[in-house]
């Protein structure tokens, strides 16, 4: 075993060898956490600890499987007898044996999310509750949160404060639904995922003989990613470890990013209070990243007040400075990221798989995906579907497809009763039979239901006619409205947006954001013939002249949604994922997109210090995924629900010590722009100005730019590159003021004044 320990650094050896008593291992990013857990278990077994007395809890099956394989490679098959797995898998295993104490057979069913939602839908129907108010996903989320905090259905229904919250949210009978849900699950001998934790707690709380049995069995307990445990998990671990207190928790408070799932950072912060005689070992040497990345990440996380202090360091190379890309829009951002990846790959002879693009929300992938496809850079979405393959996107696209081509039977089937409009399975079967009999499309059949369909009541006939008339009305407007106008109209009048907005769960919010992003894509597509894109150096605006309708949009994205011809086993692709999904992974080159206020940090997480600190920890996680280089990007403008919004760079950019930034980008200071307000919280990044000797020949004399609001029709102006000219017209307001100017040397130009920096003359 001494040979094995020689493969560890001094801090790792101490964490491995101290196997008795409570131990907390604070493992900085890239410090070999999994290696320490693996060697610690191997060391215990080599010292004679019975593997059947070891419990190792992880958060993913993959982590458990990899650890068990590594331990087996180190000491042999005895490792297979260690109780190692996820919280849910281990507790399900215990409940299979002990569940009879709670009235469950050993063969109980485990419901997944869809099973639970379907059950809630049936309960809502039985109680005559409106599913638009009691959205099944939102109801399930409320029940899940309660069980994670060990609040029973009975306690929920009797708690005055909770009942008042439900009344305010216009769901006063939610407690009744919870009670029915609990009863129906029990009657079906079923547990959902939350029940696996909740019922294990009941078992250990109410049956001392069961608690004693497993305290005796699990003499040594190890918990991975302890900062991600919720209240129910914390209590189970505390109870099981109470007798022997040979508990080792491993984690990093700086990477606690799952509060929205119920994770409680206080579990790791308070470990030393729970176990006053505990030992703490800090793994501070980073083996993953360059010095620049490690130190930049340190400068960021140092801003947080709630943390366990540590000094992460590395012996790796100094590395590349952190790059910052400023883009005019999210489309421009995607294009610049794709260009950067292509250039870096060519210059350094790299693989596509060396690159990862991380973002705060899944909706951001759309513009990035399109840019990568245009550059023929293969990519894959990690831990999620490609943007155009997500259900909510396919639902809205099905409406678009049917509007453009009413003979599209697949689109018809997908949306005829979504959102629900009272057209059931039996009716759909009759429509399909009539369609086959008369050899016409499903939509044509539905357009004259009284003629083609028999045995359908008047109410259902009316609903079918309403649907077909709605689609027909949209169809007649395909060539009359641009893609965005018609697409938005479809999304609203179909009530699809209303349906998505009614689900306030994290998943529901994400689906609504994705749908918003599709409408943003329509807006961008529709206005290509009239949207004027400024050149940052000259301010000149250019435009295309194509009328872009919904059918043209579908033609364009059909090229993006065709199945790739690449071998599915080919992993040589750029990886796209949310930062949450990236935790635990590493890549040589990492791009973090959308570094803007109200996006990252999220506008929903800036109300309290704890929320901001979690968002900063998320940024820390993003930075520390990189081995060689980090590139951060932000867009000055993004579409939100079809409206162009102006964005400030994220406050987190200011958290990075300037010495770690690429020299071609620097922060603007008040001295450089006297009289101009500079943001206090968020930095602005600009290209390093050219030296006088580098100026081009045709530039005008230098001088302060005139404020845009003073530029009026008829005045004489001077431009750095275009020389002197006369203002013909001015339109817009605020940061979007545009001017048409006739320049003596180059003719008429349209300029965005915030970029053009015109100077009044004469």
Please give the helix or strand (H or E) that residue 63 lies within, else none: helix 61-75
Determine the average pLDDT of the residues in 174-180.
Answer: 95
Residue 226 contacts residue 249 (beta carbons within 8 Å): yes
Of the candidates 290, 295, 225, the one whose C-alpha atom is nearest the C-alpha of residue 57 is 225
Is residue 678 predicted with pLDDT exceeding 60? no
Task: Pick 685 or 261 by higher pLDDT.
Answer: 261
3-state secondary structure 377-431: CCEEECCCCCHHHCHHHHHHHHHHHHHHCCCCHHHHHHHCCCCCCCCCHHHHHHH
Confidence of residue 531 (pLDDT cuts 50, 70, 90): very low
pLDDT at position 83 is 92
Break the chain down into helix, strand, coil percent, rounded to 5.
50, 15, 35
Task: Pick 568 or 638 by higher pLDDT.
Answer: 638
Determine the average pLDDT of the residues in 578-588.
Answer: 93
Confidence of residue 566 (pLDDT cuts 50, 70, 90): very low
Task: Pick 487 or 7 by higher pLDDT.
Answer: 487
H-type helices in 191-321, by residue range? 193-206, 208-217, 231-241, 266-269, 271-274, 291-301
Of the candidates 322, 319, 298, 294, the one whose C-alpha atom is nearest the C-alpha of residue 309 is 298
Query: CA-CA distances (angstroms) from residue 599 to 108, 139, 615, 637, 646?
Result: 43, 27, 10, 12, 12
Distance separating alpha carbons of residues 323 and 458, to the nearest angstrom: 65
262: left (phi over 0), alpha (psi -120 to 50) or beta: left
Determine the average pLDDT of the residues in 51-58.
Answer: 94
pLDDT at position 284 is 95
pLDDT at position 411 is 86
* 430 is an active site residue: no
Is residue 541 predicted with pLDDT exceeding 60? no
pLDDT at position 644 is 82
pLDDT at position 205 is 95
Determine the average pLDDT of the residues in 528-545.
Answer: 56
Is residue 542 predicted with pLDDT exceeding 80? no
- Select which of 98, 192, 194, 225 is catalytic: 225
Task: Describe the strand order of the beta sheet including 587-592 as a list of residue ranges.
Answer: 323-327, 626-635, 587-592, 355-359, 574-578, 379-381
Task: Pick 761 or 359 by higher pLDDT.
Answer: 359
Determine the average pLDDT of the residues in 696-716.
Answer: 68
Of the candidates 602, 570, 141, the one whose C-alpha atom is nearest the C-alpha of residue 364 is 602
Task: Pick 707 or 224 by higher pLDDT.
Answer: 224
Task: Pick 483 or 669 by higher pLDDT.
Answer: 483
> Which regions of 622-734 does DSSP assign to beta strands (E)?
626-635, 637-640, 643-646, 665-667, 685-687, 716-719, 723-731
Task: Read off the DSSP letter of residue 608.
Answer: S
Confidence of residue 680 (pLDDT cuts 50, 70, 90): very low
Residues 6+ apart with CB under 8 A from 54: 41, 44, 45, 82, 83, 84, 218, 219, 220, 221, 222
Confidence of residue 668 (pLDDT cuts 50, 70, 90): very low
**Six token digits for residue 435:** 């369609």
pLDDT at position 77 is 81
Determine the average pLDDT of the residues in 312-316.
Answer: 95
Determine the average pLDDT of the residues in 22-47.
Answer: 92
C-alpha gyration radius of the chain: 30
Distance separating alpha carbons of residues 580 and 358, to the nearest angstrom: 9
Determine the average pLDDT of the residues in 311-325.
Answer: 95
Give just the sign of the alpha carbon dihedral 362, 364, 368, 373. Answer: positive
- Select which of 12, 33, 414, 615 is catalytic: 33
Strand 533-534 and strand 665-667: the pairing is unpaired
pLDDT at position 701 is 45
The string of pLDDT tens digits covering residues 99-124 is 999 998 887 878 878 778 888 998 99
Q: What is the largest CA-CA distance in the chain?
A: 95
3-state secondary structure 123-189: HHHHCCCCCCCCCHHHHHHHHHHHHHCCCCHHHHHHCHHHHHHHHHCCCCCHHHHHHHHHHHHHHCC
- Select which of 255, 364, 460, 750 is catalytic: 255
Is residue 623 predicted with pLDDT exceeding 90? yes
pLDDT at position 689 is 32
Confidence of residue 762 (pLDDT cuts 50, 70, 90): low
Task: Pick 709 or 309 by higher pLDDT.
Answer: 309
* 655 is an active site residue: no
* 224 is an active site residue: yes
Mean pLDDT taken over the chain: 86
Determine the average pLDDT of the residues in 319-329.
Answer: 95
Query: CA-CA distances (angstroms) from residue 455 to 80, 129, 421?
Result: 63, 29, 19
pLDDT at position 2 is 65
Predicted TM-score of the model (pTM): 0.74
Percent of the chain with pLDDT over 70: 89
Distance separating alpha carbons of residues 681 and 650, to the nearest angstrom: 8
pLDDT at position 327 is 94
Is residue 235 predicted with pLDDT exceeding 80? yes
- Select which of 17, 34, 477, 528 is catalytic: 34
pLDDT at position 537 is 63
Compute the half-sphere exposure of residue 683: CA atoms within 13 Å on the CB side of its CA.
Answer: 18
Determine the average pLDDT of the residues in 594-600.
Answer: 95
* 34 is an active site residue: yes
Query: CA-CA distances (angstroms) from residue 66 to 35, 79, 386, 507, 550?
Result: 11, 12, 28, 29, 49
Lowest mean pLDDT among 235-244, 443-452, 490-499, 731-740: 731-740
Confidence of residue 392 (pLDDT cuts 50, 70, 90): very high
Is residue 159 predicted with pLDDT exceeding 90? yes
Which phi and psi angles does 650 have, rounded to 5°?
-60, 145
Of the candidates 386, 351, 348, 337, the one whose C-alpha atom is nearest the C-alpha of residue 366 is 386
Residue 634 contacts residue 594 (beta carbons within 8 Å): yes
Residue 262 contacts residue 230 (beta carbons within 8 Å): yes
Of the candidates 31, 578, 510, 580, the one whose C-alpha atom is nearest the C-alpha of residue 257 is 580
pLDDT at position 529 is 54
pLDDT at position 226 is 95
- Select which of 390, 583, 625, 651 is catalytic: 625
Q: What is the separation, in whole angstroms, between the first and last Cα of the chain?
A: 86
pLDDT at position 547 is 63
* 562 is an active site residue: no
The string of pLDDT tens digits covering residues 394-423 is 999 999 989 988 888 888 989 999 999 999
- DSSP secondary structure, 722-743, as one string: TEEEEEEEEE--GGG-EEEEEE
Task: Read off the DSSP letter of residue 533.
Answer: E
Angle at 583 between CA 508 and CA 319, to 5 degrees: 135
pLDDT at position 671 is 37
**Helix (H/G/I), strand (E/B), else coil: 629:** strand
Is residue 721 predicted with pLDDT exceeding 60? yes
pLDDT at position 455 is 81
Distance separating alpha carbons of residues 623 and 284, to the nearest angstrom: 16
Confidence of residue 665 (pLDDT cuts 50, 70, 90): low
**Helix (H/G/I), strand (E/B), else coil: 487:** helix
Environment class of residue 350 by beta-carbon count within 10 Å: exposed (0-12), middle (13-18) or buried (19+)?
middle
Distance separating alpha carbons of residues 161 and 165, to the nearest angstrom: 6
Determine the average pLDDT of the residues in 184-211.
Answer: 92
pLDDT at position 655 is 95
pLDDT at position 546 is 53
Of the candidates 559, 552, 514, 551, the one whose C-alpha atom is nearest the C-alpha of residue 395 is 514
- Select which of 224, 499, 655, 718 is catalytic: 224
**Six token digits for residue 628:** 């060689």
pLDDT at position 673 is 33
Of the candidates 735, 570, 513, the one whose C-alpha atom is nearest the C-alpha of residue 646 is 735
Of the candidates 291, 224, 211, the one whose C-alpha atom is nearest the C-alpha of residue 27 is 224
pLDDT at position 560 is 54
Is residue 571 predicted with pLDDT exceeding 60? yes
Residue 515 contacts residue 394 (beta carbons within 8 Å): no
Residues 6+ apart with CB under 8 A from 83: 52, 54, 55, 56, 90, 218
225: left (phi over 0), alpha (psi -120 to 50) or beta: left
Residue 705 contacts residue 672 (beta carbons within 8 Å): no
Distance separating alpha carbons of residues 471 and 443, to the nearest angstrom: 9
Lowest mean pLDDT among 1-5, 405-409, 578-582: 1-5
Task: Pick 682 or 611 by higher pLDDT.
Answer: 611
């Amino acid at each position: 075993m001494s040979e094995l320990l020689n493969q560890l650094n001094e801090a790792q050896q101490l964490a491995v060898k101290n196997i008795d008593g409570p131990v907390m291992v604070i493992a900085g990013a890239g410090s070999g956490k999994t290696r320490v857990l693996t060697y610690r278990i191997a060391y215990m077994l080599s010292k004679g600890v019975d593997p059947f007395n070891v419990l190792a809890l992880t958060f993913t099956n993959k982590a458990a499987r990899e650890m068990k394989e590594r331990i087996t490679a180190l000491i042999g098959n005895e490792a297979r007898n260690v109780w190692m797995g996820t919280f849910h898998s281990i507790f399900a295993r215990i409940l299979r044996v002990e569940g009879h104490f709670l009235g469950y057979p050993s063969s109980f069913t485990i419901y997944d999310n869809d099973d639970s939602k379907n059950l809630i839908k049936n309960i809502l129907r039985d109680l005559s509750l409106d599913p638009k108010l009691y959205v099944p996903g939102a109801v399930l989320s409320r029940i899940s949160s309660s069980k994670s905090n060990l609040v029973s259905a009975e306690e929920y229904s009797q708690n005055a404060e909770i009942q008042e919250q439900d009344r305010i949210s216009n769901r006063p009978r939610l407690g009744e639904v919870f009670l029915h849900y609990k009863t129906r699950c029990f009657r079906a001998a079923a547990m959902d995922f939350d029940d696996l934790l909740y019922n294990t707690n009941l078992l250990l709380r109410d049956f001392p003989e069961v608690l004693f049995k497993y305290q005796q069995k699990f003499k040594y307990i190890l918990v991975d990613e302890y900062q991600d445990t919720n209240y129910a998990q914390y209590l189970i671990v505390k109870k099981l470890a109470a007798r022997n207190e040979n508990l080792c928790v491993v984690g990093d408070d700086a990477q606690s990013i799952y509060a929205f799932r119920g994770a409680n950072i206080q579990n790791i912060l308070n470990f030393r209070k729970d176990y006053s005689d505990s030992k703490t070992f800090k793994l501070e040497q980073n083996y993953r990243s360059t010095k620049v990345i490690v130190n930049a990440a340190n400068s960021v996380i140092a801003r947080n007040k709630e943390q366990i202090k540590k000094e992460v360091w590395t012996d790796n190379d100094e590395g590349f400075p952190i790059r910052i890309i400023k883009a005019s829009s999210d489309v421009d951002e995607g294009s610049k990221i794709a260009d950067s990846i292509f250039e870096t790959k060519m210059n350094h002879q790299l693989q596509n798989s060396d690159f990862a693009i991380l973002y705060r929300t899944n909706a951001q992938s759309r513009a990035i995906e399109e840019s990568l496809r245009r550059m023929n850079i293969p990519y894959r979405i990690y831990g999620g579907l490609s943007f155009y393959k997500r259900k909510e996107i396919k639902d809205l696209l099905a409406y678009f497809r049917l509007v453009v081509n009413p003979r599209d039977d697949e689109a018809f089937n997908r949306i005829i009763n979504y959102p629900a409009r009272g057209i059931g399975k039996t009716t759909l079967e009759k429509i399909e039979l009539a369609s086959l009999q008369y050899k016409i499309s499903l939509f044509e059949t539905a357009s004259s239901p009284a003629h083609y369909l028999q045995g359908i009541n008047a109410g259902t006939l009316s609903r079918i006619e309403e649907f077909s008339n709605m689609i027909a009305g949209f169809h007649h407007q395909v060539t009359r409205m641009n893609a965005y106008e018609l697409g938005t109209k479809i999304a609203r009048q179909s009530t699809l947006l209303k349906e998505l907005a009614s689900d306030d769960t994290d998943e529901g919010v994400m689906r609504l954001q994705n749908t918003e992003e599709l409408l943003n894509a329509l807006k961008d597509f529709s206005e290509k013939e009239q949207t004027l894109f400024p050149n940052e150096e000259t301010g000149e605006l250019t435009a295309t002249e194509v009328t872009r309708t919904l059918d043209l949009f579908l033609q364009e994205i059909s090229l993006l949604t065709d199945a790739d011809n690449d071998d599915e086993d080919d992993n040589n692709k750029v990886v796209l994922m949310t930062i949450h999904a990236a935790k635990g992974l590493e890549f040589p080159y990492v791009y973090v997109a959308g570094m803007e206020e109200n996006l990252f940090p999220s506008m929903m997480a800036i109300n309290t210090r704890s929320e901001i600190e979690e968002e900063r920890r998320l940024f820390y996680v993003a930075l520390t995924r990189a081995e060689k280089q980090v590139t951060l990007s932000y867009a000055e403008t993004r579409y939100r629900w079809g409206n162009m919004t102006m964005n400030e760079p994220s406050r987190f950019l200011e958290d990075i010590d300037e010495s770690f930034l690429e020299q071609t980008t620097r922060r603007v200071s008040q001295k450089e722009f006297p009289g101009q307000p500079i943001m206090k919280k968020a930095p602005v990044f600009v290209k390093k100005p050219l030296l006088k000797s580098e100026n081009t020949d045709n530039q005008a004399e230098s001088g302060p730019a005139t404020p845009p609001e003073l530029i009026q029709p008829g005045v004489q102006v001077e431009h750095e590159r275009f020389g002197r000219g006369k203002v013909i017209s001015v339109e817009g307001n605020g940061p979007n003021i545009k001017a048409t100017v006739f320049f003596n040397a180059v003719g008429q130009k349209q300029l965005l004044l915030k970029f053009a920096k015109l100077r009044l003359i004469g």
